[in-house]
Amino acid sequence: MKISQTEKDVFQTILARRSIRSFTRQEVTHKTIMTLLTGAVRAPAVMHEEPCAFVVIQDRQLLQTLSDHTMPLLNARPEIYDVRIQSWGHPGFNLFHDADTLIVICTRSTGPFAEANCWLAAENLILAACGMSLGTCIIGAALPAMKTPELKPEFGIPDQFEAVVPIVLGWPKGDPSHVPRKSPVILNMISSQAS
C-alpha cells in the first residue's frame, strides 16, 4: 500500500512527540493557540458529543503563583501523589515548567464519554503542537487544585465546568531525549483470515 506524504508526516509526528519540561522564553502567539484549538475540536467525539471548552493562561507569573498554591495540596496527599521528583518543594519550583502557556481542557457535561472526548481533543492538540515544533506536557498533578473551590477560580475555570486535561505549551529548550517505549501488548488477535 502506498502511503501519502501527509500520512508519513502524521506518523513521524506521532513518533517525534515527547513530553517537554524545559521551555525557552519565546511566547506562543494567539494565532498559534487558535490553530491548535481548532485542531483539538476536530478530534473524534464519542456519541457526537462535543463537550470540550478551554481555558488559556499566558502569564508566567500567574502560573508560578498557581504552582506555589498547588504544591501544598500535593504534599498533603502523599497517598495519592507519590512525589518522586526531587525538585518538588524547592523554592522557585514551577509545576508548569516555566512554560509560556497553560491550556486546560474542561467539560461541563456529565455524560459517560465527556472525559474521553476531552482526552481525544488533548491528543489532537498535542500532536498538532509537535507538528508545529512546539512542546507540550500534561500536568496531571495540577488537577486536584483545579477542582478545589478555592483555586478553581484562580485557574479561570467557571463553576459549571470541570478541568480534565491541563497541558503546558511552549517552545522547547534543547532537544528532548528519546525515551524508549514498550512494544504493543497484544492480549489476543482474532482474525477470520486463514494462516
**Does the pTM exceed 0.95?**
no
Does 192 fall in a domain?
A: no
- Structural domain tally of the chain? 1
In a domain, 31, yes or no: yes
Share of the chain above pLDDT 90, in %: 54
How far are the Cα atoms of 59, 72, 152, 181 from residue 68, in angstroms, in the given order? 14, 8, 14, 32
Residue 51: alpha-carbon gap to chain centroid: 16
138: left (phi over 0), alpha (psi -120 to 50) or beta: beta
Render pLDDT for 155-192 as a digit per residue (tens, 0 to 9).
999 999 999 999 999 999 988 777 788 888 889 889 88
Measured between alpha carbons, how far is 16 from 86 in angstroms, rounded to an integer?
27
| Residue 106 host element (H or E) | strand 101-107
What is the domain extent for residue 65? 8-170
